Structure 1
Amino acid sequence: MIDTRKLGTYRLNLIGIGTGNPDHVTAQAAKALNAADLILIPRKGESKADLADLRLQILSQVLTRPIPLAEFDYPTRDASGDYETGVNDWHDEIARRWHAAIAPHEPREVALLVWGDPSLYDSTLRIASRLGAETRVIPGLTSIQVLTAAHGVTLNEIGRPVIITTGRQLRDGWPEGAETAVVMLDGQCSFQTLDAERFHIWWGAYVGMKEELLIAGKLFDVGTQIVETRAKARAEHGWIMDIYLLRQVSK
């Protein structure tokens, strides 16, 4: 367990920074960053070093004064056992590493840059709750917004709902009653399990960044292209963040 008494009194600011484009940082986010006494910077290994570099690039354009940075190594999730147990243990370890990075500085305001929006499909808030600190969320642009804008499409059909789901859940079957689904956290291109004739797909990787890749079309026509493009991009960069919108189409 984390002894939160050793952290002192501080506020943890979870700041949405969009999808890596410094232009996506809002004025509210910039103000919160400049008000911080300490900024946490996660390191995710050499293959993902440019993710940390992106955070540093954003800070170099936003900060108006020097602010101490506290780096910490991001742990790897154990995927060998039960999924929920593995995720909870992983979150516990991340919280312990936040604690170790924050404690020596005794700050009043701590900032952590979060891709997209910290309140949407992200576990940062769940991890923060383990520290027992006051937490404030600064909303940011989400990959969903940037994806639909990049493709010039609406998220939903008129009067129709949208499902936000994961690749793991999509592999269990198309969401019952859904016409449109946004799929996140999918490292296996789970759309391959669907009847490709029934769907249109709008896919994007590194959306909003200079490396942005976009493919759209009938799933039957572009599915293989997406799989091959994704694999090539991941090999080239060492990491990939992608998202896609699926919509059932009339035969």
Structure 2
Amino acid sequence: MIEPVEVRVVGFGMGPQHVTPEAAGALAGCDYALAVSKRDDDPLLAVRRAVCEAHGVELVVVPDPERDRSPGLDRAGYEGAVADWYAARLAAYRSVLTERGGVCAFLVWGDPSLYDGTIRIVRDLAVPYDVLPGISAPQMLAARHGIVLHDVGQPVHVTTARRLRADVAAGQRNVVVMLTGGVDLEGFEDWTIWWGANLGGAGERLVSGLVRDVVEDIGAARVAAKAEAGWVMDLFLLRAPVDGSDGSDGGDGGDAEGSDDGAA
């Protein structure tokens, strides 16, 4: 175990405006925060920097190691490339922690509990740590659209775009979809969608309605969000028709182009 080091994994939503009082208190007790940069003008790093500046915490940045993305890699080659990249990132973090010691914050978009690998990384670093929750993207999606993520007494299933069709085939009818990178909605034309991008941040966009009516609007809004912010993070709630209806409950006020404030 590296000594003396303590890590705080801090969810910060989409920026300084979403840092909870609990997270703010944790950051106040940190000596620095640690992050990787994918390029010199990384806009996502800029948001982390703004969080640190708002709370008087130094941000230590290490370059994200290169990963072999050769198109000819087979599955074993791909898995090996990912393992090598992960080991190199761990080594970069470990070098900083060993040199500096103290209390270090790892800043996590949204909340660390959903589709984020930071806790696994910190565990592999074998250092003492605690976790401070943040405002999650599904919370922001529901708030922005003014909806509940599930019908009365019904479940909501959280998944990824890659698993969407398999999960629907297995019987899921009310699905929050994350890690989209864009998504093919063919076959879901009669389902209702509540979609959002960059929720609470620069380039926020919202679209809702029957998929067949709004799929082109979603594509255009996604392009606009990326053009405005330099990056795009989107997710959506997808709900099946009920008893052959069109799936719309009329409860979210229809389509909307979001404002530039808030968080995700």
Same fold (TM over 0.5): yes
Aligned length: 238
1:141-197 Cα offsets, whole Å, 9 max, x none, are 10010110000010111111111111111244625222210100011313x233312
1:97 to 92, 96, 113: 92
Is residue 31 from structure 1 mapped to residue 25 from structure 2 by the alignment?
Answer: yes
Residue 207 of structure 2 corresponds to: 215
What secondary structure is seen at the aligned counterpart in 1 of 2:61? strand
Does structure 2 retain, via aligned residues, the 8 Å contact 1:70–1:102? no
Q: Judging changes above 3 Å, is the alpha-carbon distance between structure 1 residues 169 and 78 closer, same or farther for their aligned structure 2 residues? A: farther
Q: Which runs of 5+ in 2 are unaligned?
A: 245-264
Look up the equivalent residue of 1:103 and give its one-letter code. T
Q: Judging changes above 3 Å, is the alpha-carbon distance between structure 1 residues 236 and 150 closer, same or farther for their aligned structure 2 residues? A: closer
Look up the equivalent residue of 1:121 and give its one-letter code. Y
Q: Judging changes above 3 Å, is the alpha-carbon distance between structure 1 residues 81 and 144 closer, same or farther for their aligned structure 2 residues? A: farther
What is the CA RMSD across the aligned residues, in angstroms? 2.1
Cα displacement (A) at 1:88: 4.2
Stretch deviating more after TM superposition (137-146 or 30-39): 30-39
Cα displacement (A) at 1:210: 4.0
TM-score, length basis structure 2:
0.82
Q: Which runs of 4+ in 1 moved over 6 A?
A: none
What secondary structure is seen at the aligned counterpart in 2 of 1:69? strand
Q: Judging changes above 3 Å, is the alpha-carbon distance between structure 1 residues 248 and 210 closer, same or farther for their aligned structure 2 residues? A: same
Cα displacement (A) at 1:117: 1.0
Cα displacement (A) at 1:207: 0.3
Does structure 1 retain, via aligned residues, the 8 Å contact 2:52–2:59? no
TM-score, length basis structure 1:
0.86
Does structure 2 retain, via aligned residues, the 8 Å contact 1:117–1:139? yes
Q: C-alpha distance in 2, partners of 1:210/1:68? A: 23
After TM superposition, list the pairs within 5 Å mapping 1:48-197 onto structure 2.
49-63=42-56, 67-75=57-65, 77-78=67-68, 80-82=73-75, 87-107=82-102, 109-172=103-166, 174-190=168-184, 192-197=185-190
Does structure 1 retain, via aligned residues, the 8 Å contact 2:203–2:225? no
Stretch deviating more after TM superposition (214-223 or 174-183): 174-183
Q: Which runs of 5+ in 1 are unaligned?
A: none
Cα displacement (A) at 1:31: 0.9
Q: Judging changes above 3 Å, is the alpha-carbon distance between structure 1 residues 175 and 235 closer, same or farther for their aligned structure 2 residues? A: farther
Does structure 1 retain, via aligned residues, the 8 Å contact 2:36–2:63? yes
Stretch deviating more after TM superposition (136-145 or 230-239): 230-239
Q: C-alpha distance in 2, partners of 1:166/1:85? A: 23
What secondary structure is seen at the aligned counterpart in 1 of 2:54? helix
